[in-house]
Structure 1
């Protein structure tokens, strides 16, 4: 393997930690900052804001989750003689990669319902979703998103712990 490839591989742990931290930090901000703040503006404002928020952050968060997960697992494959740390990095990477199907299966239907209703209203039609159902959907989204937030913070914590013990690893390639 070339020196450049090896040099890049030697930094996958750092790439995983940085992208994992960006994902976890953004998710945490949404869960404890933005969503509670939007609720104070009122349900209808929160409902109308949701598609704009989603459009701005969805691709970035998906990319960060894939990069954090993949680089963490690739980093783990290079650790020999320290099975705990290898497994720690695999667990952290798997946590981030699991966010993608979790989002598609659990969050996407709620996202799409909110977005579709907003598109319908923008076209001049009336909302097909009553006030109570809007509140229920936004609360459901907030809970499902918090699960994702907690998972990403845990995955990030595993990565930080693994990185703090970096000198005890034996690398190959």
Structure 2
């Protein structure tokens, strides 16, 4: 236990923990912002049912990274708060943690609907199946049309923007906590 305490009190470990906190929150915020500013607008330029597998792939890749970044911000930020009393290193990770229940309550239902539309269909199989059943390309994948999927994309993008704002707030809090004059004088 004394080894852990000595690690937490050394100036270099404090710097590492601060960097991990700010860095993990900043990476999350950047990734979240890229979904709203780049990925979703790009996906809306192609037919929604064509874009669905791309959305699903980016969602599956992004979710693991985002959960890791939230956990990292907590595991690094809370010891900084504990040792320094710098409340910004408590507030930032707590705002990041709030993203988890927000996601579960509001975004996961949309994710499940979009992924449910995609289930059992891949590329040509979806088109072949829809043509065999007399459906056109605009009404396939379990009876959902292009308009339905487009509406779900818009809803997902708006809800995801909530996550983006939360992460930007957390990033701003920890950056302020790292560089504000008041905080800097605490260490002198």
> Per the shorter chain, which TM-score range?
0.7 to 0.9
For residue 141 of structure 1, the aligned residue among 133, 156, 173 is: 156
1:168 aligns with 2:182: no
Deviations 1:118-166 (A, max 9, x none): 1222375541222222111111100010110011011101111111135
Q: Structure 1 residue runs of 4+, over 3 Å off?
A: 3-9, 123-126
CA contact (8 A) 1:50 1:115 kept: no
CA contact (8 A) 2:18 2:76 kept: yes
Query: Where in structure 1 are there 5+ consecutive unaligned residues?
Result: none
**Separation of aligned partners in 1, 2:62 and 2:37:** 16
Query: Displacement of 1:5 after TM fit?
Result: 4.7
Change (3 A) 1:9 1:98: farther
Q: Which residue is 2:37 aligned to?
A: 32
Moved more, 118-127 or 99-108: 118-127
Q: Which residue is 2:174 aligned to?
A: 159
Query: Displacement of 1:75 after TM fit?
Result: 1.5
The size of the alignment, in residue pairs, is: 166
**Separation of aligned partners in 1, 2:153 and 2:13:** 41
TM-score by length of 2: 0.79
Q: Secondary structure at the match of 1:120?
A: coil
Q: Which residue is 2:137 aligned to?
A: none
Query: Displacement of 1:70 after TM fit?
Result: 3.6
Q: CA RMSD in A?
A: 2.1
**Separation of aligned partners in 2, 1:101 and 1:9:** 31
TM-score by length of 1: 0.85
Q: Secondary structure at the match of 1:152?
A: helix
Q: Which residue is 2:141 aligned to?
A: 127
Q: Secondary structure at the match of 2:44?
A: helix
Larger Rg: 2
**Separation of aligned partners in 1, 2:43 and 2:22:** 30
Moved more, 17-26 or 97-106: 97-106
Moved more, 61-70 or 91-100: 61-70
Query: Where in structure 2 are there 5+ consecutive unaligned residues?
Result: 130-139
Query: Displacement of 1:9 after TM fit?
Result: 4.8
1:51 aligns with 2:56: yes
Moved more, 159-168 or 91-100: 159-168
Query: Displacement of 1:74 after TM fit?
Result: 2.7
CA contact (8 A) 1:9 1:75 kept: no
Change (3 A) 1:97 1:9: farther
